[in-house]
Structure 1
Amino acid sequence: MDARDRDGPDRDGREADFTWGQARDFANQLIQAHSGKHLTDLEIKVLQGSWQNHTYEAMAEQYTYGAGYLNRDVGNALWKKLSQALGEKVSKTNFREALRRAWWQQGRSVPSVPPSVPPSVRPSVLPMTPPLPAVPLAETPFAEGPVAPQSPFYVVRSQVEDLGLRSLLKPGALVRVKAPSLMGKTSFLYYLLQGVQLQGYATIYLDLGSIDRDILTDLGKLLRWLCARVSRQLKIPNRLEEFWDSDIFGSNDNCTAYFEEYLLQEVPQPVVLGLDNVDRLFPHGAVVEDFFGLLRSWHERARISTLWQQLRLVLMHSTDVYIPLDYNQSPFNTGVPIELVEFSPDQIQALALLHHCSLDRPALAQLMAAIGGHPYLVRRALYELGTGSQTLGQLLATAATETGIYGAHLRRQWLLLQQNPALWQALIQVVQGTEPVSLSPLTLYKLHSMGLIHRHNNRVMPRCTVYRDYFRSMHRADSP
C-alpha cells in the first residue's frame, strides 16, 4: 500500500500528515467526548477497513463476520456516531476528509516539519498529537491509583492494547501482563475487561492484593475463595458445599470440578477472569506452584474442550517482586506475554495539554531526560506543573532528592535494593559509569525487572537521570 492509500489524497500538503493511527485515535477521542463511550474493537476494524478503501465484503472475509452485519449493524451505527461527534453527516466514502479537516482545525495550528528539515530551523513548538480538550483544572485527578478506561487521562498504548484484546477474543486465551510497579498494570486490566465487555463477554476482576494472609498461605482456602468470588461476580448461587469433596479429592480437583461442572455450564457467553497482583503469591512457594499449575491446566484443557475455551485468563504481576525470590520462582511460561512500555513523547504531550501544561520541545526533552516515559513519574510531574504548584525548573531541582515529589517512590526502590547487597553494588556500578556497562545476565534481569535500567545492546545504563542522581547520592551517603 502506498502513502496515498494509507493517508488519503494530499490536500494542500496536509493530508499526508494525517495517518491511520492519528485518525483512529482522533475518532475515538471525538466519540468518547460526545457519547462517553469508546469505539469497540469491531468498529475500529470497520473504520480501518474503510480507511483503506476496503469493501464490506473484503472486511467480512478478513474478520469472519457477515458483510451485511458489518454494513447495517456496525457501519451504519459507526457513521451515525461519527456524524454526531463531528457535527456533519459523514459516510464510508467521505469520513476521511471530514476527520482530517476537524483534526487540522482543532489541533494542528502549526504544520508538521518534514524529517528532511534540519532541527536547527524547526519551530520550537510542534504539536505532536491533536490535543484533547483540557479537563477543568479543579477536576484534574491526582496521580495515584488506576485510571478508568473511559477517562481522558487513560493513555492508549495502541500496540499493547490491541494485542491484549485480540488475544482475549481467542478461545481459551491466557494473557500474562508484567511490568515494574506503577507502570499502569491495573489500569490496563480495566481497559481489557471493558473491551471484552463490549463484545458481550462476562468479566470478573479479582485483586489478590486484597486477600487476607491466612487465605494466601493455604491452597484450599485460596481456591474456595476463588470459586466463591467468581460465583458472586457472575451472580450465580454459591454451591461450594455440593461440589467440594475434601475427603477424596485435592483442592485443585475440586476447584476444577466447580468450574467445569457448574460455573462454565451456567454462563452462555465467554468469561474473562482477570487476576490482579498475582505476585502476592510468589513468596509462598508451595501455594504458588499448585495455583499456577491449576491455571495452566485450565488453559491447556481449552485445546480439546469447547467448554474450557469459554474461559479466558488475564494475569497481572509486578516484576520487581522477583528480587527477593530465587530466579526460578516465577510464573509459568505459557500464554501471551505482554510487557507494558513507557509513554512516548506524543503521549506525554497530549497528557500535558489535558493537565493545562504547555511543554515546548526543549522542555519536553528536559522532562523526559529526567524521568523517561514512566507513567507514574510523568503523571505526577504533569499534575504539579498543571496545578501551578511548581515550575519545571523547581520540580527538576529536587526530583532526585528525598524532599522532591518522587521521594517516597525512590526510597521504596532503595529499601528493596538493600535486601540484596550484590544487586545494590551492581546498580552503583551502573549509575557511576559514564558509558553503558556490562552485567551478568541474572543481575541485568533483576535490575531491569525493577525498572531501574535500560538495555543498550548487551550493556545497560540508568533508566533516567532521576534514578542515576538519587542512587549516586545514596551511595555517597553510605560511603565512609
Structure 2
Amino acid sequence: MYKTKRKRGVILTSTGIKRLQSAILSVEIIENKGEHLSLEEISSRIHVSTRTLSKLWSLSESVDQKTIKLCFSTFNLELHSEDYTIANKVNETETSKLLSIANIKEDLSQRSKLTSFVEEHQTRTEQIENLCSYPDGPIPLASPFYIERPPLERKVYREVTTSGCVIRIKSPKQMGKSSLVLRLCAFAQKQGYQTVNLNCYQFHNESLTDLNKLLRHLCWKIATQLGIDPNLKEKWNEEIGYNLSSGFYLENYLLDQCQSPVVLVLNEVDHFFEYPHICQEFFALLRSWCEEVRHNPKWQKLRLVMVYSSEEYISMDINLSPFNIGLPIRLNDFTQPQVEDLARRYSLDSFKAKDFAQLMLLVRGHPALIQISLYYLKYHEMTLQEIIEEAIANGGIYRDLLWRQLIKLQENPRLAKTYAEILAAKQSIPLNPIETYKLESLGLIRFEGDRILPRCELYRAYFAKQLSTIV
C-alpha cells in the first residue's frame, strides 16, 4: 500500500494576480503619491516575508491560503474562489511492496491522481502564459512585467495634478512611452479627472490636408471621449476662423461642461510633421492653448500631454512652439538591476551574472529588446546562446523590430549612408548635426563622451550587413 503525506498549498491564478496588482497600483496612486511600493514595503504592510511574496508573484510556487487572504485583505480585497487554485506537493512517500488487489487498486488511484495533477499543472501553465502574452505594444496595467524607472512615474503623477500643466514625453519608439501613458491616465482617473487619449495616426488623411478639418476632427474626438455630444453644427463658428472657433469650442462648450480637470493626451504627435503645410500652424495653436491657462480659469482644467519620438527640424519661432514648454520626460534604457528584476518576474531563476552581462552586451537595456529576449527564454525553450547566434546572423527573434528600423533608413539614403559610416568608424568622425539628431530620435545611436556609437552590438552587426547592400 502507498502511504503518503501531502503538503497542501494554493497558487494565484491570472485573475487573482491581476486583481491584486490593480489594488496595489491603487494604493500606490492614492496613498503613496504615485510612488512604487518596493517588495520590502509590501512585505511590511502584509507582515509576510519577501521570500513568500516572491513565491506568490511567481504563480508557480504554492503558499498557504491564509497568506493569500492576508495579502488581499491588506489591499481591501475579498478573496474569491477564482483568485487561486489548490496545489498538491508530495513530500514523503513510503511504499510497501504488497502484491495484492488492494495494491493494484491503489496504483490505479495514484495514476488517476497523477493525471489530475498533470491536467491541473497544464491549466496553471496556460494561466501564466495567458498573463504573459508576446510583448508587443503597451504593457497592460495589471501586468507584473512593467518595470518602473524612478523618478519618472512620480514626476508625471505629480505634474498632472498641477493646473494647466504641459507634459512632453519624448523617446524613440519601443521605449515604453505608451505603457507610461496608460499608468498616467489610470492615476489621473483615480484623482477623479477625465482623460482623453488620442493617437494622431488615427486621423484620416483627408483631415490632414486641411487645418479646419483637422481641428473639427480633433474636437469631435475629444467630445466623444468625454461623453459629450459634439454638436459641431451649432457650436463651430467658421466665420471667426478655425483657430478661434476651436479655442472657443474647447473653452465655452467642452471645458465648461466638465466639472473636473481634463487630461488630453496626444500620442505620436510627430506624425503631423509629415504634413508641413498644416503642422506649423497647428503647433502654434497648441502653444496658444497652453498660454491660455495663465489668465483663463476655464483653461486651467486642461492638462496637456504630448508624446512623440522626434521634433524634426522645422523652421518655427521658438515662441510659437509647444516643444520648449512644460515638463520634459525622456525614457532611458533599463539598468542591469532593472533587467535582473524583470528576469525574476519571468521566473528565470537560472539566469546568472554572466548571462545578464551577455544579454546587456547584445541589446544593452533597450526595453522592447529585453522584454522579447526574456519572453523567448521563458516560453520558447531557447538558450541565450541560441538567441545571440541567430540575432547576429539574421536578426533572429528581434527581426520585426529591426526591419522597421531598416525601412526608415531605406526611405532616407543619406541617413543610411551616415549610419553606415558610424558603424564602420573606429574613432570619432564629424557628422551633420541634423542627421545625428534624426539617428538619435530613431534610437539607432548612443553617445559615449564625444563619440557617437551604434545603440548596441545587435544594431552594429545587423545594420552593417544590411546597409552594405544598399549604401
Bucket of the pairwise TM-score, normalised by the shorter protein? 0.7 to 0.9
AA of the residue aligned to 2:390: T
Residue in 2 that maps onto 1:112? none
- For residues 136-194 of structure 1, give each alpha carbon's deviation from its aligned partner in whole angstroms, at most 9, with x where no partner exists: 23532101111122321222212111121111111111111111111122111111111
> Bigger shift: 282-291 or 193-202?
282-291
Question: Does residue 200 of structure 2 align to residue 208 of structure 1?
Answer: yes
Residue in 2 that maps onto 1:162? 154
Cα–Cα, structure 1 residues 352 and 278, in superposed 2: closer, same or farther, change >3 Å?
same
Larger Rg: 2
Q: Please, which of 164, 168, 172 is the counterpart of residue 172 of structure 1? A: 164
Q: Where do residues 17-416 of structure 1 align in structure 2 (5 Å cutoff)?
A: 32-33=20-21, 35=23, 37-45=25-33, 95=44, 102-103=49-50, 106=53, 136-246=128-238, 248-319=239-310, 322=312, 332-358=323-349, 359-402=351-394, 404-416=396-408
Cα–Cα, structure 1 residues 31 and 140, in superposed 2: closer, same or farther, change >3 Å?
closer
Cα–Cα, structure 1 residues 160 and 286, in superposed 2: closer, same or farther, change >3 Å?
same
Cα–Cα, structure 1 residues 237 and 35, in superposed 2: closer, same or farther, change >3 Å?
same
Cα–Cα, structure 1 residues 401 and 251, in superposed 2: closer, same or farther, change >3 Å?
farther
The structure with the largest strand share of the pair is: 2
Cα–Cα, structure 1 residues 351 and 261, in superposed 2: closer, same or farther, change >3 Å?
same
- For residues 267-311 of structure 1, give each alpha carbon's deviation from its aligned partner in whole angstroms, at most 9, with x where no partner exists: 111110111111221111132112211221111111111111110
Q: CA deviation at 1:377?
A: 0.9
Secondary structure of the 1:165 match is helix
Distance 2:315 2:35 in 1: 45
**Could you say what the CA RMSD is over the residues aligned between the two structures, in angstroms?**
3.1
Cα–Cα, structure 1 residues 275 and 260, in superposed 2: closer, same or farther, change >3 Å?
same
Q: Contact 2:168 / 2:323 at 8 angstroms: preserved in 1? A: no
Secondary structure of the 2:303 match is strand
Q: Please, which of 406, 412, 421 is the counterpart of residue 420 of structure 1? A: 412
Secondary structure of the 1:206 match is strand
Distance 1:478 1:265 in 2: 56
Distance 1:34 1:209 in 2: 30
Q: Contact 1:438 / 1:459 at 8 angstroms: preserved in 2? A: no
Distance 2:460 2:338 in 1: 24
Gaps of 5+ in 1: 1-28, 52-81, 87-94, 109-133
Secondary structure of the 1:273 match is strand
Q: CA deviation at 1:347?
A: 2.0
Residue in 1 that maps onto 2:70? none
Cα–Cα, structure 1 residues 447 and 328, in superposed 2: closer, same or farther, change >3 Å?
farther
AA of the residue aligned to 1:143: P
Q: CA deviation at 1:44?
A: 1.1
Distance 1:345 1:223 in 2: 44
Gaps of 5+ in 2: 1-16, 56-124
Q: CA deviation at 1:436?
A: 5.0
Question: Does residue 447 of structure 2 align to residue 455 of structure 1?
Answer: yes
Distance 1:409 1:402 in 2: 12
Tell me the percent identity.
34
- For residues 10-33 of structure 1, give each alpha carbon's deviation from its aligned partner in whole angstroms, at most 9, with x where no partner exists: xxxxxxxxxxxxxxxxxxx99944
- For residues 409-459 of structure 1, give each alpha carbon's deviation from its aligned partner in whole angstroms, at most 9, with x where no partner exists: 222222222333332222222222344555343232221111111111222
AA of the residue aligned to 2:137: G
AA of the residue aligned to 1:341: N
Residue in 1 that maps onto 2:421? 429
> Bigger shift: 414-423 or 431-440?
431-440
Q: Please, which of 452, 472, 476 is the counterpart of residue 464 of structure 2? A: 472
Distance 1:106 1:292 in 2: 48
Cα–Cα, structure 1 residues 31 and 301, in superposed 2: closer, same or farther, change >3 Å?
same
TM-score calculated relative to the size of structure 2: 0.73
Distance 1:295 1:34 in 2: 34
AA of the residue aligned to 1:420: N
Q: Contact 2:131 / 2:143 at 8 angstroms: preserved in 1? A: no
Secondary structure of the 1:204 match is strand
Cα–Cα, structure 1 residues 437 and 355, in superposed 2: closer, same or farther, change >3 Å?
farther
Cα–Cα, structure 1 residues 399 and 38, in superposed 2: closer, same or farther, change >3 Å?
farther
Q: Contact 1:31 / 1:39 at 8 angstroms: preserved in 2? A: no
Q: Contact 1:177 / 1:337 at 8 angstroms: preserved in 2? A: yes
Q: CA deviation at 1:107?
A: 5.3
Distance 2:289 2:203 in 1: 22
> Bigger shift: 461-470 or 414-423?
414-423
TM-score calculated relative to the size of structure 1: 0.72
The count of corresponding residues between Structure 1 and Structure 2 is: 381
Distance 1:311 1:281 in 2: 22
Q: Contact 1:40 / 1:195 at 8 angstroms: preserved in 2? A: no
AA of the residue aligned to 2:339: I
Q: Contact 1:137 / 1:356 at 8 angstroms: preserved in 2? A: no
Distance 1:223 1:161 in 2: 31
Q: CA deviation at 1:34?
A: 7.9
- For residues 380-426 of structure 1, give each alpha carbon's deviation from its aligned partner in whole angstroms, at most 9, with x where no partner exists: 11111111342111111111344511222222222222333332222
Q: Contact 2:169 / 2:305 at 8 angstroms: preserved in 1? A: yes
Distance 1:173 1:160 in 2: 16
Residue in 1 that maps onto 2:11? none
AA of the residue aligned to 1:256: G
